[in-house]
Amino acid sequence: MRVKNYVQNIKVPEGVNVKLEGTLLIVSKGKESVSRDFKHPKIEIKSETDKIKFNVELMTKREKTTLGSFTAHVKNMFKGVEKPFVYKLKVCSGHFPMNIKVSGKELSVKNFIGEKVPRVLDVKEGVDVKVEGEVITVTAADKELAGQTAGAIELLCKRPGFDKRIFQQGIYITEKAGKTI
């Protein structure tokens, strides 16, 4: 079924600033800022004082799913600038104690299963990583950046060919943006 001239409105929360430059939407509040490009040939985005408006001239199933993704992204941007997304990871080491250190924008894991060469991850801009004992906290205003960084840290200590139910050494995600695993 096709719908003509469909309009989707998203209300902007109080205190949140929205700026639209072409198809690039910039959402900011205080010192936090998140930007995303909403480029689609059939979906038009407009910014008004208290709402963001998506216009679709002829909406098919494909545009409907894309519009749903766009609205979810915008709502996550609003949530992220008001309260940053937090991911928590737990360090599990059996026989060899791991040393995890964050220096600048670089996370290094030393002595993973007795390896001499440290495993290193470059942390992206806009993401804050803190190590407190056996808990690593990843914080960012952008949900995708926080999730991608937490996933990259988890993959940093992955060993192919080993069953993680038996060989439990590594770093594992325990909380995802408010959800406990």
Mean pLDDT by 10 residues, the chain (181 residues): 87 92 91 92 90 91 93 94 94 85 92 88 93 94 94 88 80 85 75
Residue 113: what pLDDT?
84
Task: Note whether 58 and 166 are within 8 A (CB).
Answer: no
Residue 89: what pLDDT?
94
Task: Tell me which residue of 62, 44, 40, 60 sits closest to 7, measured CA to CA.
Answer: 44
Same domain, 168 and 96: yes
Task: Note whether 109 and 136 are within 8 A (CB).
Answer: no
Same domain, 72 and 117: no
Same domain, 89 and 176: yes
DSSP state of 14: T
Task: Note whether 14 and 29 are within 8 A (CB).
Answer: no
Could you tell me the residue range of the domain that residue 20 belongs to? 3-82
Same domain, 170 and 97: yes
What would the two tokens of residue 74 be? 């915008």
Domain total in the chain: 2
